[in-house]
C-alpha cells in the first residue's frame, strides 16, 4: 500500500539520507516502506517526545533541561528528522537513532569525536520510518501553532481526559481561543 504512494521530492531527500544509514544496518526493506502516518507519529511523539517537549510541543523547563518549542521551531522537515535522529550534542536533546554516532552520519561526528557524555542517547531508539512519522506529525499538528488550547488537548488525549481540565475555561467558552 505504501509503495503505491509517490514520494515527494523532500521525502526522498530525507529517505536517501536514512537509506544510506540503513544499508549499513541491513534494514533496507524497512526503510523503503516509509509510511508517513501522522496518527502513528502522534503516538510515537507521546511516547518519546512529550516527556520533555510536553504534549503540545511547547517545551519548557523540566527533565532534560529547557526543551525548545516545536510550535515555534523554524526547522523544516529534514532538519527536524536530523534533530530527532542525531539529537544535539551538548544539550538535553537526545539522539534516537541507535547508530547515530557510529558511522559519521550525524554532523559528520563519530563516537570518539563527541566528548564523553555530550551526545545523550534516548531511552528508546527509533527506526527511520518512525522518526519520519514523528516529523510529519510535528509539521502537521505542532509547528506554527499558537498557544495550546482545549480543543487541541482533547484531540491529543481523547475526550474525557482530565489532563485537559486546565483548559476548562475555554471549554465553557465554546473553545474560544487566543
Q: Are 71 and 64 in contact (CB under 8 A)?
A: no
Q: Closest CB to ligand HEC among 51 and 113?
A: 51
Which residues from 29-68 bind ligand HEC, rule CB under 6 A?
A: 48-49, 51-53, 64-68
The site that binds ligand HEC (CB under 6 A) totals a number of residues, namely 24
Q: Closest CB to ligand HEC among 38 and 75?
A: 75
CB of 125 vs ligand HEC, minimal distance in Å: 10
- Hey, CA dihedral for 72, 149, 130, 123, is it positive or negative? positive
Q: Closest CB to ligand HEC among 44 and 153?
A: 44
Burial of 9 (0-12, 13-18, 19+ CB in 10 A): exposed
Q: Is 80 in the site for ligand HEC (CB under 6 A)?
A: yes
Candidates 3-11, 34-42, 70-78, 170-178 — which segment interacts with ligand HEC by CB under 6 A? Answer: 70-78
- Locate all alpha helices (DSSP H) within 26-167, ordered by sequence: 28-33, 38-48, 50-53, 77-86, 128-141, 150-157
Count how many Cα atoms sit within 13 Å of the Cα of residue 48 in the half-sphere of its side chain: 28
Q: Is 134 in the site for ligand HEC (CB under 6 A)?
A: yes
Q: Is 88 in the site for ligand HEC (CB under 6 A)?
A: yes
Report the distance separating Cα 32 and Cα 149, nearest Å. Answer: 37
Nearest to 100 by CA among 84, 80, 79: 84
CB of 176 vs ligand HEC, minimal distance in Å: 29
Q: Closest CB to ligand HEC among 31 and 84?
A: 84
Q: Closest CB to ligand HEC among 73 and 149?
A: 73
Select the residue interacting with ligand HEC from 56, 71, 77, 96 (CB under 6 A).
Answer: 96
Report the distance separating Cα 16 and Cα 25, nearest Å. Answer: 14
Amino acid at each position: 500500500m505504501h509503495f503505491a504512494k509517490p514520494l515527494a521530492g523532500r521525502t526522498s531527500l530525507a529517505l536517501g539520507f536514512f537509506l544510506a544509514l540503513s544499508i549499513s544496518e541491513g534494514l533496507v526493506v524497512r526503510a523503503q516502506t516509509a509510511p508517513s502516518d501522522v496518527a502513528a507519529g502522534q503516538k510515537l511523539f507521546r511516547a518519546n517526545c512529550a516527556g520533555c517537549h510536553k504534549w503540545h510541543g511547547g517545551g519548557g523547563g523540566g527533565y532534560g533541561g529547557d526543551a525548545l518549542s516545536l510550535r515555534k521551531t523554524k526547522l523544516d522537515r529534514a532538519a527536524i528528522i536530523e534533530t530527532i535522529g542525531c539529537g544535539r550534542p551538548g544539550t538535553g536533546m537526545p539522539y534516537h537513532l541507535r547508530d547515530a554516532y557510529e558511522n559519521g552520519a550525524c554532523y559528520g561526528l563519530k563516537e570518539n569525536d563527541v566528548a564523553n557524555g555530550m551526545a545523550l542517547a534516548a531511552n528508546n531508539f527509533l527506526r527511520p520510518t518512525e522518526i519520519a512519522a514523528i516529523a510529519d506529525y510535528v509539521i502537521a499538528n505542532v509547528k506554527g501553532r499558537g498557544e495550546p488550547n482545549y480543543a487541541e488537548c482533547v484531540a491529543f488525549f481523547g475526550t474525557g481526559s482530565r489532563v485537559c481540565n486546565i483548559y476548562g475555561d475555554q471549554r465553557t467558552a465554546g473553545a474560544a481561543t487566543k
